[in-house]
Amino acid sequence: MRPLKESPDFRRLWVGSTVSQLGTQMTAVTVSIQVYALTRSTFAVGLVGLCALVPLVVFGLYGGAMADAIDRRILALVSSTGLWVLSMILVLQSQLNWGQVWILYAVVACQSACFAVNGPARSAIIPRLIRPELLPAANTLSQAAFNLGFTVGPLVGAAVIAWHGFAAAYLVDVITFTAALYALFRLPAVPPTGLVRRAGLQSVLEGFTFLRAAPALLATFLADILAMVFAQPRALFPAVAGSFFAGGVRTVGLLQAAPAIGALIGVVFSGWVSRVRRQGVAIVVAITVYAAAVGLFGLSRTIWLGVALLALSGAADMVSSAYRNTVLQSAAPDAMRGRLQGVFTVVVAGGPRLGDFVVGTSASLTTPTIALLGGATVCIVGLLILLARNRPFREYDSKTRALS
């Protein structure tokens, strides 16, 4: 809790993000349920992720370059305002019963573009608000905020949908997002440091050049890609809620919330995380546990066993994310941090969206069980190859912070 006590600005940012995550995660589960209600197709739900992927990649990379070129507070404010407006559009399309799935796809794509700019700016602000030694604690708190929203959001979202329909769930997102806008408005200016270059292709390429010369950092991205593309189960929740567990909308909400519940439990017992020095190995171990839990979830037919396995996957993902964030924020220079956070945003947010498409398509061609077991196996094998072939990643030490 030290970052919250020592930095009022970080505290405001954290509180605003925590509140807004509730609505954001409600919207995420609501869109999936609405698409499935309109189409009755896991492939259509998987397309939600694909529609978000392209703008996320393009605007994530460019947004990271912008975060190194202009005031990060202004960039975060403008992109957050765009997200607020798009949430209002979701309210309207549901309230007016437009019933067109392409509208949902279009809004998701635009949301993805705004988020891709917002994410690098917000993340690159944090190291400017707190001391370097508090970064692991700050990242754990940020994960806790995300997972609190991920826990409560789907459950509340499913309950609100059952009570008063999709529009009411989307409206909560509009209301809660106002808290994030207020927190950003209260922050001080966060201008770029070092040699400032105009945001563009050249500055984006400089970020990739730095990343290519830092194999330990590059491996943290590759490890997350393996997990999120091949072992991401969320696109199947609307389908398996009925086929695995004979449930409905509330079961979908419970499945969506389970990983975040596990992550929150993991945060409570995360005091040991900052004491681990071999963080590359720790990332591989954590993601292996995550993938194994997802694979076993594909075999479960009892709801509480399924929830327990998803909770375990969430706890393992929390540990992995804390280490990956810490490696990036502690080892990267501030002048390069926005661009690297842009790549990080593309991987962290784009990976699951591509994963939604991969697992949705795989399940439609085979079965959900085969899709989950096969994806988990690919992930674990890929991790072992990555660890064996990347010595800097395998030997990365938080004390020396050597990336190559």
Tens-place pLDDT, residues 78-135: 888 898 999 999 999 988 888 789 999 999 999 988 888 887 788 778 888 887 777 7
Q: What is the pLDDT of residues 198-211, one digit of tens each?
A: 656 677 777 778 87
**pLDDT recorded at residue 269:** 74
* Predicted pLDDT at 199: 59
pLDDT tens for each residue of 244-260: 888 887 888 788 888 88
Most confident of 194-203, 226-235, 275-284, 328-337: 226-235
pLDDT at 271 over 60: yes
The string of pLDDT tens digits covering residues 36-52 is 888 888 788 878 877 88
Residue 13 near residue 125, CB atoms below 8 Å: yes
Residue partners of 45: CB distance under 8 A and separation at least 6: 32, 35, 36, 39, 235, 238, 239, 356, 360
Residue-level pLDDT at 305 = 94
Instruction: Sketch out the chain's domains with CATH numbers.
Output: 2-394 (1.20.1250.20)
Q: For 217-234, what is the mean pLDDT?
A: 90
pTM of the model as a whole: 0.71
For the segment 287-294, the average pLDDT, to the nearest whole number, is 96
3-class DSSP string for the chain: CHHHHHCHHHHHHHHHHHHHHHHHHHHHHHHHHHHHHHHCCHHHHHHHHHHHHHHHHHHHHHHHHHHCCCCHHHHHHHHHHHHHHHHHHHHHHHHCCCCCHHHHHHHHHHHHHHHHHHHHHHHHHHHHHCCHHHHHHHHHHHHHHHHHHHHHHHHHHHHHHHHHHHHHHHHHHHHHHHHHHHHHHHCCCCCCCCCCCCCCHHHHHHHHHHHHCCHHHHHHHHHHHHHHHHCCCHHHHHHHHHHCCCCCHHHHHHHHHHHHHHHHHHHHCCCCHHHCCCHHHHHHHHHHHHHHHHHHHCCCCCHHHHHHHHHHHHHHHHHHHHHHHHHHHHHCCHHHHHHHHHHHHHHHHHHHHHHHHHHHHHHHHCCHHHHHHHHHHHHHHHHHHHHHHCHHHHCCCCCCCCCC
